[in-house]
Structure 1
Amino acid sequence: KGWHTFNKTTIGSAWQVKDDALMLDASQKENWQTKGGGDIVSDEAYDNFHLKLEWKVATNGNSGIILFIKEDPKYKYAWETGPEMQVLDNAGHPDAKIIKHRAGDLYDLISCSKETVKPAGEWNQVEIISKDGLIEFYLNGEKVVSTTFWNDDWKKLIAGSKFKSMPDFGKFPKGHIGLQDHGDNVWFRNIKIRKL
C-alpha cells in the first residue's frame, strides 16, 4: 500500500511483505532485474520531505533509494530522471571499488564523506532530507552527503557523470521516491516519509 511499480498501477509479486519488512525476492531473474519485480515508487510525489527507513541487502547485493522520479512512458527506468542514494554490500559487490558507487553515495555524483555502512544482512538506518534544494543523506546516524540540487553546480555534476546522456536526469524538483530492483534480495522497513 502506498507503492506501485514504476509506470504501472500495481506492484509486482516479487515485492513481498515478510516479518514487517518490504522485501524483494530476487530468486527469479529477468535480465539484470527480477521477474515480477521492477523499481517501485511512492504513490505520492514529494518536493520538501524527510524520509526515514532501514535497509539491508543480501551478500554482494545492490539496490538504491531513488528521488524525484518522473513517471512517463518515455522513461524505461526510474533512474533516467531520479538521483539515487546507493544501497550496496560494500564488502562483496564489485561496484564498491568505484568511488561514488558505494553505500550511502549519491550514486555516480558525490561520494560519502565517511563509510558508515554495516555488513550485508545487517540493518542500516537512512535519513534523507530535502529542503528547498538542499539535500542531505544520513547513514547510520552520520551525515554522509550534503549538496544542493538544481543549481549550476548540480548541472556540472551531472555533465561529468554517466547520466550526462539523459536529458531529464535530476531535473524535477518534485517527484516520486523509489526503491530499486537491481536483481538482488533487499529488505526495507520502518519507511516514513514526512512532508516539510
Structure 2
Amino acid sequence: MKNPKLTLLAAMIGLIFPLTAMAQALNTLSPKEKAEGWELLFDGKSMDKWRCYKLDKVQGWAIEDGAMVALGLPGGQGGDVITKEKYKDFELYLEWKVAQGSNSGIFFHVVEGEDYPTVYMTGPEYQLIDDVGAEGTDPKYLSGANYDVHRPKHGQVKTLDQWNTAKIVVKGAHVEHWLNDRKVVEYEMWTPEWYELKKNSKWRDADGYGKYPEGHIALQDHGGVTSFRNIKIRKL
C-alpha cells in the first residue's frame, strides 16, 4: 500500500519544480514585457547603456552577481551614472538594495550642462537609503521620497539583505513613486504648489531643477555601496 504522506510530498515537489523552472531569469524580459514595449537597461553582463555623468565611460562601478554596484570609492573615483538615451514619458522599474548606512537615489530628466555640475541640479530624485540607519531622519529623506520635497506614504523597505523594488512613472507633469508595489508619492510638476514646495526645499536656488520635460535617467554614487538589477523601462 502506498504511503499517502509520501504521495502528497511527491505531488507537492512536482508542483514546485515547474514553478521554479518558470521563474523569470534575472535581467531578462518576458514575452509579455517585450510586447508591451519594455527595454532592458542592464543585461547583467555589461553597462553598455550607461556612462558616468559628463564622461564617456563608467568608473567606480562593478558588475557583481548580475547587479550593477556603486562601489562608493573615495576621492571622486566613482560617479553617478546616466543612461546614454534620454527619456520623456516613461515607466521605469528596478530592484535595489543598499549596504548599512548607504544612501543613493534614482533621478530622471537629467540634463548635462556647464551650469549643472551634478545630476541633482536638474533631475528630481527618488531617494534610496538605509531607512533603519537613518532612523529619526526627516521623512522627506527616506526611501521612496521625492528628495526634500515629498515624503513617502505607506513606504516600507525590506531588511538590508533583501532586494526592494522601485517604480517611477512620468507622464507629462504627472509623477508617481512606487516602493515594493505600493504607491508612496504622487505629484504634479510645474504647478503653483510644486513651485512653492521647491521654494521651501534645498532646490530653491537651483533654476534647472525639474525644469526639463526630457532627459537622462541617473543612478547615484553617494559614497556608499548600492546595488541595482532588473532595470527596465518603457516609453509611454
Q: Structure 2: how far apart are the matches of 1:165 and 1:65?
A: 21
Is 2:114 aligned against 1:73?
A: yes
Is 2:64 aligned against 1:18?
A: yes
- Per the alignment, residue 137 of structure 1 pairs with 177
- Per the alignment, residue 29 of structure 1 pairs with 74
Q: Structure 1: how far apart are the matches of 2:161 and 2:84?
A: 28
- SS in structure 2 opposite 1:136? strand
- SS in structure 2 opposite 1:184? coil
TM-score relative to the length of structure 2: 0.77
Where do 5+ consecutive residues of structure 2 fail to align? 1-47
- Per the alignment, residue 93 of structure 2 pairs with 52
TM-fit CA distance, 1:73 = 2.7
TM-score relative to the length of structure 1: 0.92
Which runs of structure 1 show a deviation greater than 2 angstroms over 4 or more consecutive aligned residues?
none
TM-fit CA distance, 1:24 = 1.1
Q: Structure 2: how far apart are the matches of 1:105 and 1:23?
A: 22
Amino acid in the other structure paired with 2:165: Q
The structure that is helix-richer by fraction is 2
The structure that is strand-richer by fraction is 1
Q: 5 Å matches for 1:27-176?
A: 28-30=73-75, 35-93=76-134, 97-176=137-216
TM-fit CA distance, 1:49 = 0.2
> What is the aligned-residue identity percentage?
38
Q: Quick check: which has more Rg, 1 or 2? A: 2
Where do 5+ consecutive residues of structure 1 fail to align? none
Q: 1:7 aligns with which of 27, 32, 54?
A: 54
Amino acid in the other structure paired with 1:116: Q
Aligned CA RMSD, in angstroms, stands at 1.2
Q: Structure 2: how far apart are the matches of 1:56 and 1:20?
A: 13
Amino acid in the other structure paired with 1:23: V
Give the conservation status (yes or no) of the 8 Å contact 1:104–1:144: yes
- SS in structure 1 opposite 2:154? coil
